[in-house]
Amino acid sequence: MTFSGEYQHAIDEKGRLIIPARFRDSLGSKYMLSKGLEACLFIYPMESWTKLEERLNSLSVFNQKNRNFKRRFFSGSGECEIDRQGRTLINQEFRSYANLVRDVYIVGAGDHLEIWNKEAWEDCRVRLDEEFESLAEELFS
């Protein structure tokens, strides 16, 4: 599945977040949550995670940048579950990393989802809209 679209939701006082219904089947009951880039969180279905894991594990351990990236990426990741109500618990460490207090966006990003602080995503979206045409030209010319 390719994840697309954006959905605004709120994290409750216990740190639970409702995953949009259209994404739940593709994620399954278990998925991987990771500290992402640009202070957001990444959600990977297990199948996509396995492919990423294989790619990262194929990097040479004898290269310091590879080791450092893998340490940071894997240490900032963990398996999570979706409950019967379609909610998932995001622990305090992950919420702090992405500055998730209450209002968040869940954003489709192809093979994974991203969870953003509401204001951070709105700022990022403005910047991306401004750069979109030049990015398209650079990537597809």
How many residues comprise the chain? 141
Angle CA 113–20–11, to nearest 5: 85
Residue 38 lies in a domain: yes
- Tell me how crowded residue 93 is: count the other CB atoms within 10 A of its CB: 10
In this prediction, residue 86 carries a pLDDT of: 94
Residue owning tokens 């979109």:
132
Give dist(CA 112, CA 8) in Å, integer. Answer: 17
Q: Is residue 1 part of a domain?
A: no
Domain count, the chain: 1
65 lies in a domain? yes
Query: Does a structural domain hold residue 66?
Result: yes
Give ∠ CA 81-83-89 in degrees, rounded to 5. Answer: 60
Cβ-Cβ contacts under 8 Å for 65 (sequence gap 6 or more): none
In a domain, 57, yes or no: yes
pLDDT in tens, 8-57: 999 999 999 999 999 998 898 899 999 999 999 999 999 999 999 999 99
Q: How far apart are CA 95 and CA 98, in angstroms?
A: 5
* 13 located within any domain: yes
Give the tens place of pLDDT for each residue, 53-95.
Answer: 999 999 999 999 999 999 999 999 999 999 999 999 999 999 9
Query: Average pLDDT of 130-139?
Result: 94
Q: What is the CATH number of the domain that holds 17?
A: 3.40.1550.20
Looking at the domain assignment, is residue 50 inside a domain? yes
Token duo for residue 74: 């894997």
Supply the range of the domain harboring residue 58: 6-140
Q: What is the pLDDT of residue 139?
A: 93
Q: Is residue 110 part of a domain?
A: yes
